[in-house]
Structure 1
Amino acid sequence: MKLGIHAYAWCSQWSNETLGLIDRVKGLGLDFIEIPLMTLDAFDAAAVKRRLEDAGLDAVTSTVLLRGTDITSADPAVRAAGIAYLKECVRATAAIGKANLSGVVYSQHVKETNARPTEQEWGWAAEGLREAAVYAQAYGVQIGLEPVNRYESNLVNTCGQAIALKDMIGEPNIKIHLDTYHMNIEEKSFYEATKAAGSDLIHYHICENDRGIPGTGLVDWDAIFRALSEIGYAGYAALESFVDVTDNMNTWVWRQLAPSGDALVEEGVRFIRGKMAEYGLA
């Protein structure tokens, strides 16, 4: 299993000013950095690729759809904009020489609604992602669907729903991305959800139930690592804790979740490395 960290552990927005995080992550002995694509206008793919190569560090990318890019919108122009955005994210991922893009890519993150999703919305999500997936195949990029909690999406909250959407899309490069923070709210079992993802699992967000330091809260880490061990997981797993609010997506960080970003990383990495060794994933 590859252990990494989301750039939002230290910054609220990615740009050339944050390129130094690549060297910082490498210095921590981690395998990769997760780079957010929320502000593509500030994403310098050539500079990122060069810095990754110089540091000898791997990377994945992630994003969420917002109001103007919701592929489940009733407005065809918004759906088209969402598909175009996903394709742009695919190109950005390929441009840095990487193959994993994931996140809330199936509908608007924090959609303003008071209703369950309709069959039409499920259909629009599948249709848009099918087009994005076919486009991504030419770039060698796979797209991971990340279930999030009910307060952030009304469409995909569980691994089972992500699998159902994947089946509707029907393209081989559509995969699953799980997140323990959301699983803690929505799943009945960390173990069963992880096992269900199986060989389709390409990314795992390692978060405590409060997004603080892993191992200090309520998440059942033994169930998670037992499942990861049983499926022989060799993919990416990133610590994901946010240090601040951002102006490009909702993070809801209203209090200090750790003494510092460095403390969160150091203590979290120590705990997760221990679990990896315990379950034969090191």
Structure 2
Amino acid sequence: MNKIGFNVLAWSAVVSDELLPIIDRLKAIGYDGIECFIGSPDEAAYKRVGEHVRSIGMEATCVFVVGKDENPISESAAVRAKALDRMKWTIDRAHDMQARVICGPFHSAHAVFAHHAPDDREYEWSAGVLRAAGEYAAQANITLALEALNRFECYLCNTMEQLTRLVKTVGQPNVKAMFDTHHANIEEKKFTTAIQSIAPLLAHVHISENDRGTPGDGHVDFDKVFSALAHINYSGWLTIEAFSRNDPDFANSIGVWREYSDPWDIAEGGFKLIRQMCQKHGLDLQKTVNHAL
């Protein structure tokens, strides 16, 4: 059964007790879970937030990125070793939250470009790091769901075709793929074809509008997205990822220079859209009850 999640990056990239009232309100709207960015150094906070999430009957998923000093496709073996260390630390923090999915574009450093097309060596380097990370994640029963990003944020994996190549090269059962409607809206020819192609490896889905505002207010064709997901019998998370300038450091790092929608409008409107689309296309929601709308 599908579950509906919301990425709290709309408020903060820091995992702390300040998220607790936000999580409570998301629960009241009807969300099954929240998604947190793993990066802030307070290790104890991950356990506290995870415990709170579970205490109110929700679940957590996680997302993270790597930078140039921990780049899995660096020519430097030392840098690639740092990438693996970072992934293991992230897996430990997700385990603290009792999360079962870590998603994101950590196959390569975010917004770091080599000014050439991705080559075979880079796919092999990335796969080697991810294979070891997947083996480590398996011990915690965590799936690593790799994300393809648009050409302005990444060059290794922009499409489901490239992502399929990488995941198959990794060849580790705990390393799979995710689909993000925002990036696919830029890079894929057709949503249906892209989703069908990644179906055997698909472990996570981000529901994101073309401008990262409220899903359904832009031009992403969510009818086609949900129809394709129903056709492949997708049964994982449907997690909204939308951004704001509430956390200026994070916003600056990903090029968010204006407000798209109020985060609570995104949460309420996006939740309504997902429920409507699931009902329309026959996706089976776990138990979600809309308390606020």
Would the TM-score normalized by the shorter structure come out above 0.5?
Answer: yes
- Deviations along 1:204-260, whole A, 9 cap, x unmatched? 1111111111112111111111111111111001111111154257232222211x2
* 1:171-190 equivalences in 2 (<5 Å): 171-190=172-191
- Structure 1 residue 253 corresponds to structure 2 residue 248: no
1:224 aligns with 2:225: yes
Aligned-partner residue type, residue 251 of structure 1: I
- Work out whether residues 13 and 36 of structure 2, in 8 Å CA contact, stay in contact via their aligned partners in 1: no
How far does residue 29 in structure 1 lie from its aligned partner after superposition?
0.5
Residue pairs, 1:22-41, within 5 angstroms: 22-41=23-42
Amino acid at match of 2:259: Q
Question: Contact between 1:13 and 1:246, CA under 8 Å: does it hold in 2?
Answer: no
State the SS of the aligned residue for 1:108. coil
Choose from 269, 273, 279 the match for 1:267: 269
2:290 matched residue in structure 1: none
2-side partners of 1:140 and 1:152: how far apart?
A: 29
Distance change (3 Å), C-alpha of 1:165 and 1:43? farther
Aligned-partner Cα distance in 1 for 2:182–2:107: 19
Deviation at 1:114, TM superposition (A): 1.5
TM-score by length of 2: 0.91
Q: Which moved more, 1:206-215 or 1:41-50?
A: 41-50
Displacement of 1:200: 2.2
Deviation at 1:43, TM superposition (A): 5.9
| Runs ≥4 residues deviating over 4 A | none
In the alignment, residue 95 of structure 1 is paired with which amino acid?
A: D
Amino acid in structure 2 at the alignment position of 1:274: Q
Tell me the distance in 2 between the aligned counterparts of 1:49 and 1:220.
34
**Residue pair 1:15, 1:42 contacting (<8 A) in 2 also:** no
Identity, in percent, stands at 34
For the 8 Å contact 2:34–2:59, the answer to whether it is kept is yes
**What letter matches 1:263 in structure 2?**
D
* SS of equivalent to 1:44: helix
Give the deviation of 1:19 after TM superposition. Answer: 2.8
CA distance in structure 2 between the partners assigned to 1:246 and 1:144 by the alignment:
26
1:40-99: CA deviations, max 9, x gaps?
A: 446623202210121110110110111121111122221111100101111111222221
Counterparts of 1:155 and 1:256 in 2: how far apart (Å)? 29
For residue 132 of structure 1, what is the amino acid of its counterpart? A
Q: Which amino acid aligns with 2:134?
A: A
Q: CA deviation at 1:124?
A: 0.7
SS of equivalent residue, structure 2 residue 189: coil
Normalising by structure 1, report the TM-score: 0.95
TM-aligned CA distance change 1:70 to 1:246, over 3 Å: farther
Deviation at 1:9, TM superposition (A): 1.9
Does structure 2 retain, via aligned residues, the 8 Å contact 1:12–1:246? no
In 2, the alpha carbon distance for the partners of 1:239 and 1:4 equals 6
More displaced stretch, 184-193 vs 72-81:
72-81
Q: Is the 8 A contact 1:32 1:57 kept in 2?
A: yes
- Measure the CA separation in 2 of the matches of 1:214 and 1:81: 36
2:81 is paired with a residue of what secondary structure?
helix
Q: Contact 2:113–2:154 (CA<8 Å) still a contact in 1?
A: no
Match of 2:211 in 1: 210
CA distance in 2: counterparts of 1:97 and 1:190, whole angstroms: 32
Q: Which runs of 5+ in 2 are unaligned?
A: 286-293
* 1:13 shift after superposition: 2.8
RMSD: 1.5
Does structure 2 retain, via aligned residues, the 8 Å contact 1:13–1:248? no
Corresponding residue number in structure 2 for 1:51:
52
Q: C-alpha distance in 2, partners of 1:98/1:211?
A: 24
Q: Is the 8 A contact 1:60 1:98 kept in 2?
A: yes
Structure-2 separation of matches of 1:61 and 1:248: 16
Aligned to 2:291: none
Using the alignment, how far apart are the partners of 1:122 and 1:42 within structure 2?
A: 31
Rounded Cα–Cα distance in structure 2 between residues aligned with 1:42 and 1:126: 28
Amino acid at match of 1:126: A
Q: Is the 8 A contact 1:14 1:42 kept in 2?
A: no
